[in-house]
Chain A
Amino acid sequence: MPADFISSLFVFILAAFLGFELIKRVSPLLHTPLMSLTNALDAIVVVAAIIIAGRHETKLSTLLGLIAVAASFSNMVGGFLITDRMLHMFRAGKAKKS
Chain B
Amino acid sequence: MTALATQQLIDFSYIAAVIGFILALKWLSSPVSAMRGVLIGEIASGVAVVATLFDPQVTHYKWIIITLIIGAAIGVPLGLVKMTAVPQRTAMSHAFGALSAALIGIAEYYVGTPHLTKFEMVEIGLEVIIGSLTFTGSLIAAGKLQEILPQRPITYKGQNIVSLSTLAAAIVLMLILMVHPEYTHLFQAMVVVALLFGVMLVTPIGGADMPTVISLLNSYAGFSAALLGFVLNSKVLVVAGALDGASGFILSVIMCKAMNRSFTNVLFGAFGQVQVSAGKAAEERTVRSATPDEAAGILAAANKVVIVPGYGMAVAQAQHKVRELYDALTKRGIDVKFGIHPVAGRMPGHMNVLLAEADIPYDKLLEMDEINGDFPQTDVALIIGANDVTNPAARTDHSSPIFGMPILDVDKARTVMVIKRSMAAGFAGIDNPLYYMDKTLMLFGDAKNFVGGIVRELGGGHE
Which A residues contact B (CB, under 8 angstroms)? 1-2, 4-5, 7-9, 11-12, 15-16, 18-20, 22-58, 60-62, 64-94, 96-97
Which residues on A sit within 8 Å (CB–CB) of B352?
Answer: 28-32
Docked complex Cα distance between A60 and B213 (Å):
33
**Residue contact B349 to A28, C-beta cutoff 8 Å:** yes
Docked complex Cα distance between A80 and B79 (Å):
8
Docked complex Cα distance between A86 and B361 (Å):
13
- Minimum distance in angstroms from B13 CB to a CB of chain A: 9
**Residue contact B31 to A87, C-beta cutoff 8 Å:** yes
**Residue contact A44 to B349, C-beta cutoff 8 Å:** no
**Residue contact A56 to B59, C-beta cutoff 8 Å:** yes
**Residue contact A94 to B32, C-beta cutoff 8 Å:** yes
Docked complex Cα distance between A90 and B354 (Å):
10
**Residue contact A18 to B243, C-beta cutoff 8 Å:** yes
Q: Which of B30, B73, B96, B107 contacts A60 (CB 8 A)?
A: B107
Which residues on B sit within 8 Å (CB–CB) of A32?
Answer: 86, 90, 347-350, 352-353
**Residue contact A69 to B64, C-beta cutoff 8 Å:** yes
Which residues on B sit within 8 Å (CB–CB) of A55?
Answer: 57-59
Docked complex Cα distance between A88 and B49 (Å):
25
Known: A89-B353, A90-B31, A92-B359. A78 touches B74 (CB 8 A): yes
Q: Which of A37, A67, A68 contacts B38 (CB 8 A)?
A: A37
**Residue contact B246 to A81, C-beta cutoff 8 Å:** no
Docked complex Cα distance between A11 and B250 (Å):
19
Instruction: Contacts A44-B240, A55-B59 known; list 19 others, CB within 8 Å.
Output: A20-B250, A23-B247, A29-B352, A32-B86, A34-B28, A35-B90, A38-B25, A41-B244, A45-B104, A46-B49, A49-B104, A72-B96, A73-B49, A76-B49, A81-B76, A90-B356, A91-B31, A93-B359, A97-B363
**Main DSSP-derived SS at the A contact region:** helix
Q: Which of B28, B53, B363 contacts A50 (CB 8 A)?
A: B53
Chain B interface, number of residues (Cβ within 8 angstroms): 113
Interface residues of B in 57-97 (CB under 8 A from A): 57-61, 63-64, 67-68, 70-81, 83, 86, 89-90, 93-94, 96-97
**Residue contact B34 to A72, C-beta cutoff 8 Å:** no
Which residues on A sit within 8 Å (CB–CB) of B59?
Answer: 54-56
Docked complex Cα distance between A90 and B359 (Å):
8
Looking at B195-203, B223-231, B422-430, the stretch in contact with chain A turns out to be: B223-231
Which residues on B sit within 8 Å (CB–CB) of A36?
Answer: 86, 90, 93
**Residue contact B229 to A76, C-beta cutoff 8 Å:** no
Docked complex Cα distance between A45 and B108 (Å):
14
Docked complex Cα distance between A62 and B63 (Å):
9
Which residues on A sit within 8 Å (CB–CB) of B362?
Answer: 29, 90, 93-94
Q: Closest 6 A-B residue pairs measured CB to CB?
A: A81-B79, A54-B58, A73-B71, A19-B246, A77-B75, A31-B349
- Minimum distance in angstroms from A12 CB to a CB of chain B: 5
Q: Mark B102-122, 1 if CB is under 8 A from A, else 0.
A: 011011101100000001000
Docked complex Cα distance between A89 and B106 (Å):
40
Q: Which of B52, B60, B228, B365 contacts A29 (CB 8 A)?
A: B365
Interface residues of B in 1-57 (CB under 8 A from A): 14, 17, 21-22, 24-26, 28-32, 34-35, 37-38, 41-42, 44-45, 48-49, 52-53, 55, 57
**Residue contact A28 to B367, C-beta cutoff 8 Å:** yes
Which residues on B sit within 8 Å (CB–CB) of A76?
Answer: 45, 49, 71, 75
- Minimum distance in angstroms from A97 CB to a CB of chain B: 4
**Residue contact B78 to A74, C-beta cutoff 8 Å:** yes
Which residues on A sit within 8 Å (CB–CB) of B57?
Answer: 51, 54-55
Q: Which of A20, A26, A42, A81 contacts B29 (CB 8 A)?
A: A26
**Residue contact A68 to B111, C-beta cutoff 8 Å:** no
Docked complex Cα distance between A86 and B301 (Å):
35
Docked complex Cα distance between A8 and B242 (Å):
11
- The answer, yes or no, to whether B312 is at the interface (CB within 8 Å) is no
Q: What are 19 A-B residue pairs whose CB atoms fall within 8 Å in the complex?
A: A11-B238, A15-B246, A27-B30, A34-B349, A35-B247, A36-B90, A38-B25, A39-B94, A41-B44, A43-B100, A52-B104, A54-B55, A55-B58, A70-B71, A77-B71, A81-B75, A87-B38, A93-B363, A97-B363
- Minimum distance in angstroms from A20 CB to a CB of chain B: 5
Interface residues of B in 171-213 (CB under 8 A from A): none
**Residue contact A89 to B90, C-beta cutoff 8 Å:** no
In the complex, which residue of chain A has the Cβ closest to the Cβ of B350? A32
